[in-house]
């Protein structure tokens, strides 16, 4: 179950009922197979807003009662009148008349009193029981209007007179003598009783119903089309100051009664006569009071009365005879040249009526985009298609039903025949469907509902510039408008700090100048911080005052060395071992930092020009060869990465055997100041390697 819908200016128009709804059938099928459709689940689940909302051939006029509870429609064939009850969503009754209806009016708040203008020059009054009274007029009537103040019924006819029938007195009054012949349409202003008569010429005559005299005569001019035209529709707004009229050439004129120049002229676009004009005031939507509806036999358009901008449109597949708006809602009924009358619903214009409030919840769920198929279970094929499929022998049978320049064929039969004639049709159709879906997704990514507003970039402007340089401005704009990356350029928490150490580690590729400056700053800053930390740690551990200053005098250094030796003699063996471990660790870390800094300085791209000129190239080559020989002698392999980290691998070997006489005392800080003896080691066992159970100890 689906609903046909069209969209114009982002306003969806849903067709609830009519000839081209989701489950439409040809007339010659519906009449023969109505009983069999009760087993069709899709047909059973269709949206049937009002039951029997149709006529045998066509409908002429449709109007809603002032209380909004009923709708009355007239149609043919045979000429008849239908009344629909909104509370029960069904037809209340139908009446047949002797002549076809031209126009009718509902005189009471409900349906009980109505007057009908017939095409046999008769005026028929009906009440609850049926026909109440019938009278005739001298000329063929075209339009009706009723004045509630003095109970006058005005009948516009083909002559030069406007007939007046007073319903209170029950008699005809003297007609109004007109300057032109042929009254196409009559309308009355409920605010002041002013009559507007649209004539066969391009003239609108205004009459005062109280003085029964002509007030003004408006001559329409069309600078766009020089052909002669008639005034076919007139309408007053409820405020008493605005007036609209339509012509036989498809133009609508909007006037302020205080001026003779139109405020706006709107072209319907098809060149057909304007059949009806409705001021949409009480729709319940925001800004709905500025909209107006103009209708010809092809399309009904809703547009803004101030600037003429289109709001929505309703275009059925059959000709429109009349259109009616349900007051206070977004629903419209159309009487047309078809069996079923159409029902349209525009949610943006107003809510659904109270008697069908369920439409608000099912319209979007059941929405279906319009398709090109005429009937849901029949396909139209041309004579060339018949030859390609090899069905020429079926022409004239019930399988192929002739229609215009082709034939209608059942969808199931067509699929079978097409598969036989072209075995690869399924594969081709599958490829076309895949291509169609890809194009649809691509279209949804490119098209937008309005102009794309580029958001203001508050943060990460450099990133946007780099992206536009590498990928182009289009890609940068797509990233800015993407909801997934919006906060990256608006929220401060997502700002990229290019001076951060982590950012530089992830983005090492920079220019030569940036690499040199960043590496130098990073090495110097880290080395100074670590050195100061090591100095503070050593001072806390009791090593005494530590200084690398070159300005110390020899006496100060000797004094400090003596104090250290004295203090070392007083310490126990455990304290000596612990202190030796800490000193060795500090020296090892210092050597690693120096080697890393030296390596980074060698790998730096930008080297100071003065230092490079002072040191000759041969000297650098000799130093590098000497380092290689030392590395080969040590049988060690050092691997370094771009971050300055070093990986050291070596082959352990045993030390040569030594005698007891060669043993030296433990060397604490300065080997020259330590006491000499025949026993003891020349250096601490733990110095130079990690404490713990080492597998290589004793080598």
Residue 293 sits in the same domain as residue 416: no
**Cα(253)–Cα(261) distance, rounded to whole angstroms?**
10
Residue 675 inside a domain? The answer is no
The structure tokens 């708040």 sit at 109
* Residues 55 and 185 occupy one common structural domain: yes
In angstroms, the CA 140 to CA 163 distance is 11
Tokens of 270: 């098809």
Closest CA to 325 of 345, 311, 341, 305: 345
Helices (DSSP H) in 308-451: which residue ranges?
A: 359-362, 383-389, 411-421, 425-446
Arithmetic mean of pLDDT, 52-81: 93
Task: Pick 592 or 178 by higher pLDDT.
Answer: 178
Chain segment 465-475, per-residue pLDDT in tens: 777 776 677 77
Q: Do 305 and 404 fall within a single domain?
A: no
- Judge whether 544 lies within some domain: no
CB 128 within 8 A of CB 144: no
Residue 433 lies in a domain: no
Answer yes or no: do 208 and 320 share one domain. yes
DSSP state of 452: P
Query: Are residues 510 and 518 in contact, defined by beta-carbon separation less than 8 angstroms?
Result: yes
Rounded mean pLDDT, 573-579: 79
Domain boundary among 441, 469, 498: 498
Assess whether 295 and 186 both reside in one domain.
Answer: yes
* Same domain membership, residue 387 and residue 343: no
Which residues, including other chains, have CB under 8 Å from residue 232's CB and lie 6 or more apart? 184, 185, 198, 246, 247, 248, 273, 274, 275
Using a 10 angstrom Cβ sphere, with 0-12 exposed, 13-18 middle and 19 or more buried, the burial of residue 614 is exposed
The residues with which 63 forms a beta bridge, in sequence order, are: 72
pLDDT at 573: 76
Q: Specify the pLDDT at position 331.
A: 92
Q: How many domains does the chain have?
A: 3
Token pair listed for 236: 């007053």
Q: Which of 7-11, 100-104, 360-364, 685-689 has the lowest mean pLDDT?
A: 685-689
β strands within 210-269, DSSP E: 213-219, 231-236, 242-247, 251-256, 264-267
Q: Which helix (H) or strand (E) holds 331?
A: strand 331-336
pLDDT of residue 232 exceeding 90, the answer is yes
Note whether 297 and 196 are same-domain residues: yes
Length of the chain (residues):
699
Residues 161 and 306 in one domain: yes
Residue that finishes a domain, picked among 446, 476, 498: 498
Mean pLDDT of the residues in the chain: 77
Q: What is the pLDDT of residues 342-360, one digit of tens each?
A: 999 998 888 889 888 888 8
Quick: pLDDT tens for 395-454: 888 888 888 888 888 888 888 888 787 777 777 778 888 888 888 777 666 555 444 455
- Amino acid 102: pLDDT: 95
Decide if 629 is inside a domain. Answer: no
CA distance 245 to 636: 103
Mean per-residue pLDDT for 191-215? 91
State pTM to two decimals: 0.53
The domain of 404 spans: 378-424
pLDDT band at 685 (very low <50, low <70, confident <90, very high): low
Q: Which one of 498, 520, 551 terminates a domain?
A: 498
| 281 shares its domain with 332 | yes
Q: Tell me the CATH number at 71.
A: 2.130.10.10
Asked whether 98 and 80 are in contact (CB, 8 A), the reply is: no
For 312, the token pair is 């929505």
Domain membership flag for residue 664:
no
Tokens matching residue 670: 């300065």
Which range in 203-212, 514-523, 543-552 is most confidently predicted, on average pLDDT? 203-212
Q: Do 383 and 363 sit in the same domain of this protein?
A: no
Distance in angstroms (rounded) separating the CA atoms of residues 90 and 349: 25
- So what's the pLDDT on residue 500? 79
- What was the pLDDT predicted at 152? 94
Neighbours of 450 (CB within 10 A): 6
Residue 104 domain-assigned (yes or no): yes
Contact between 299 and 318 (Cβ < 8 Å)? no
213 forms beta bridges with 208
Backbone angles phi, psi at 425, to 5 degrees: -65, -35
Same domain, 88 and 145: yes
pLDDT for res 496: 78
Q: How far does Cα 385 stand from its chain's mean position?
A: 40
Whether the Cβ atoms of residue 565 and residue 669 lie closer than 8 Å to each other: yes
Asked if residue 276 and residue 388 are part of one domain, the reply reads no
d(CA 628, CA 27): 101
Q: Give the pair of three-digit tokens for residue 596.
A: 């890393």
Render pLDDT for 609-636 as a digit per residue (tens, 0 to 9): 444 445 567 787 788 888 877 766 655 5
In a domain, 515, yes or no: no
User: Do the domain assignments include residue 600?
Assistant: no
* Averaged pLDDT for residues 98-104: 94
Q: Is the pLDDT of residue 384 over 60?
A: yes
pLDDT above 50: residue 606: no
């Amino acid at each position: 179950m689906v609903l046909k819908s069209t969209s114009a200016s982002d306003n969806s128009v849903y067709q609830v009922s009519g000839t081209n709804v989701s489950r439409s059938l040809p007339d010659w099928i519906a009449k023969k197979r109505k009983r069999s459709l009760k087993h069709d689940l899709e047909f059973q689940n269709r949206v049937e807003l009002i039951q029997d909302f149709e006529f045998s051939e066509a409908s002429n006029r449709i109007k809603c009662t002032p209380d909004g509870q009923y709708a009355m429609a007239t149609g043919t064939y045979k000429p008849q009148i239908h009344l629909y009850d909104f509370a029960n969503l069904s037809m209340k009754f139908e009446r047949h008349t002797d002549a076809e209806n031209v126009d009718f009016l509902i005189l009471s708040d409900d349906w009980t009193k109505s007057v009908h203008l017939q095409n046999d020059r008769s005026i028929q009054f009906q009440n609850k029981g049926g026909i109440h009274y019938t009278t005739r007029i001298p000329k063929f009537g075209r339009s009706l209007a009723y004045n509630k103040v003095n109970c006058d019924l005005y009948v516009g006819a083909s002559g030069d007179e406007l007939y007046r029938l007073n319903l209170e007195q029950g008699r005809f009054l003297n007609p109004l003598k007109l300057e032109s012949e042929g009254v196409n349409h009559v309308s009355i202003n409920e605010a002041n009783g002013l009559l507007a008569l649209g004539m066969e010429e391009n003239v609108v005559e205004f009459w005062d119903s109280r003085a029964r005299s002509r007030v003004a005569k408006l001559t329409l001019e069309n600078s766009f089309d020089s052909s002669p035209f008639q005034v076919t529709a007139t309408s007053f707004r409820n405020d008493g100051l605005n007036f609209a009229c339509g012509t036989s050439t498809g133009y609508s004129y909007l006037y302020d009664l205080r001026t003779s120049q139109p405020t706006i002229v709107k072209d319907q676009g098809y060149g057909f006569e304007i059949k009806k004009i409705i001021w949409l005031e009480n729709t319940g939507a925001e800004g709905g009071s500025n909209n107006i509806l103009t209708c010809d036999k092809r399309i009904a358009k809703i547009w803004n009365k101030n600037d003429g901008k289109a709001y929505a449109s309703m275009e059925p597949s059959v000709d429109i005879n009349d259109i009616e708006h349900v007051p206070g809602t977004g629903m419209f009924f159309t009487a047309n040249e078809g069996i079923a009358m159409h029902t349209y619903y525009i949610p943006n214009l107003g809510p659904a009526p109270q008697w069908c409030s369920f439409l608000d919840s099912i319209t979007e769920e059941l929405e279906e985009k319009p398709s090109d198929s005429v009937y849901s279970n029949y396909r139209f094929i041309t004579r060339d298609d018949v030859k390609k499929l090899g069905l020429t022998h079926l022409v004239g049978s019930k399988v192929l039903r002739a229609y215009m320049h082709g034939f209608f064929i059942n969808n199931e039969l067509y699929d079978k025949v097409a598969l036989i004639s072209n075995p690869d049709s399924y594969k081709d159709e599958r490829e076309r469907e895949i291509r169609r879906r890809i194009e649809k997704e691509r279209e949804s990514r490119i098209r937008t509902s309005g102009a794309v507003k580029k958001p203001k970039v508050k943060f990460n402007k450099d990133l946007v510039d780099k992206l536009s340089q590498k990928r182009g401005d289009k890609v940068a704009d797509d990233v800015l408008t993407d909801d997934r990356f919006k906060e990256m350029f608006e929220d401060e928490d997502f700002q990229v700090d290019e001076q951060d150490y982590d950012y530089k580690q992830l983005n090492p590729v920079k220019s030569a100048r940036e690499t040199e400056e960043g590496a130098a700053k990073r090495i110097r800053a880290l080395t100074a911080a670590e050195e100061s930390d090591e100095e503070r740690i050593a001072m806390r551990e009791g090593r005494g005052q530590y200084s690398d200053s070159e300005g110390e005098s020899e006496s100060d250094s000797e004094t400090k060395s003596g104090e250290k030796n004295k203090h070392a003699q007083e310490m126990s063996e455990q304290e000596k071992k612990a202190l030796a471990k800490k000193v060795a660790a500090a020296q090892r870390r210092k050597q690693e930092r120096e080697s890393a800094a030296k390596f980074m300085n060698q790998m730096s791209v930008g080297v100071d020009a003065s230092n490079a000129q002072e040191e000759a190239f041969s000297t650098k080559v000799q130093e590098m060869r000497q380092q290689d020989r030392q590395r080969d002698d040590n049988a060690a392999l050092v691997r370094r990465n771009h971050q300055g980290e070093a990986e050291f691998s070596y082959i352990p070997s045993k030390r040569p055997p030594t005698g007891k006489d060669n043993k030296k005392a433990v060397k604490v800080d300065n080997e020259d100041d330590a006491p000499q003896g025949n026993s003891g080691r020349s250096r601490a066992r733990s110095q130079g390697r990690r404490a713990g159970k080492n597998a290589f100890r004793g080598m």
